[in-house]
Amino acid sequence: MEVNKIHIEKNTVQETLVIPLFGRLVCSERFPHLFSDPEAKRLCDSLDYDFAGKRKKMESLAGLFGALEVAQRQYDLACEVKTYLDAHPKAAVVNLGCGLDDTFSKCDNGSCRGYNLDLSDVIAVRDALLPAGEREENLPCDLNDLSWMDRIDASGGAVFFAAGVFYYFKTEDVKRLFSAMADRFPGTVLAFDSCNRRGAKMMRKTWLKEAGITDVGAYFSLEDERELESWSPRFASVTAKSYMRGYRDIYGDVRRFHRLMIRFCDGMVKMKIVKIAFGGQS
């Protein structure tokens, strides 16, 4: 029986779902000793999308490093989720800008709750491919409209995380969002990936051109995570780890070119996973 596939139009917000998803698939194929993600294959097989061009680019040395970044980022953020759940087993696990990320199911301990937040057209695709489970909700929203916070039950604590999201937000909006979260959800944590201005500009290059944006400095980036400490008196701590080596060091498991790229990302681009602990009692 032929299964109806979900059509993804090129040059749409929905197409942004494809890159990290396909990166996870390619990583599973090319680095099976490091990553196994059968769900990524199932999801890609469920999409009506021509992956040929993406595969050609991602099978290059540079493309494979991009796939490594995507898979390692999910691994890192899952580590933060699991660590928080060890201490707060009934916590809310909140995926900000979820796309087709399945971190909740990978970390589900049987008693936590999952919330997957993204724009409505993204959630429409997610509902078709990754319908919410018994203790899970897919919530269409704009993260800058803070009313989404009303939907989160953080009575058992909460761990918020975002993968590849804040590079596309203006710094003033990120500050407003983080400060509001600290006020609303004391005793919780937020983990996300970041890099410096050089790295953020590289990531946004195509999008910036298409959007006609020239004021790159208005968009969020971090040279040093300590820059965030002054944003809110409710930030109990701000810490960071290397994106590619901080949670699981894969330096010795990849080719020489990729080791050079890891050093570049650590030294010149400052790619990190940042964690903010919001002070007070949850």
Q: Residue 218: its pLDDT value, please?
A: 67
pLDDT above 70 for 49: yes
User: Is residue 237 pLDDT above 90, yes or no?
Assistant: yes
pLDDT at 207 over 50: no
Taking the C-alpha atoms of residue 213 and residue 175, their distance in angstroms, rounded to an integer, is 20
Longest dimension (CA), the chain: 58
pLDDT at 189: 98
Q: Which tokens go with 54?
A: 């993406």
Q: What is the mean pLDDT of residues 266-271?
A: 94
Domains in the chain (CATH in brackets) are 76-278 (3.40.50.150)
**Residue written as token pair 């971190």:** 103
3-state secondary structure of 114: strand
Which two tokens mark 193? Answer: 């990936």
Tell me how far apart the alpha carbons of residues 29 and 43 are, in angstroms, rounded to a whole number: 15
pLDDT digits (tens, 9 = 90+) for 110-120: 999 999 999 99
Angstrom distances, CA of residue 201 to CA of 41, 67, 227, 278: 30, 19, 19, 29
Mean pLDDT is lowest, of 104-108, 143-147, 188-192, 212-216, for: 212-216
Of the CA atoms within 13 Å of residue 155, those in its CB half-sphere come to 3
Residue 37 clears pLDDT 80, i.e. is over it: yes
Which tokens belong to 148? 């989404």
Q: What is the pLDDT of residue 216?
A: 47
> Is the distance from CB of 15 to CB of 5 less than 8 angstroms?
no
Residue 199: per-residue pLDDT = 84
Q: Would you list the DSSP string of 217-280?
A: GGB---S-GGGGGGS-TTEEEEEEEETTTSSS--GGGS-HHHHHHHHHIIIII--EEEEEEEPS
Amino acid occupying residue 71? A
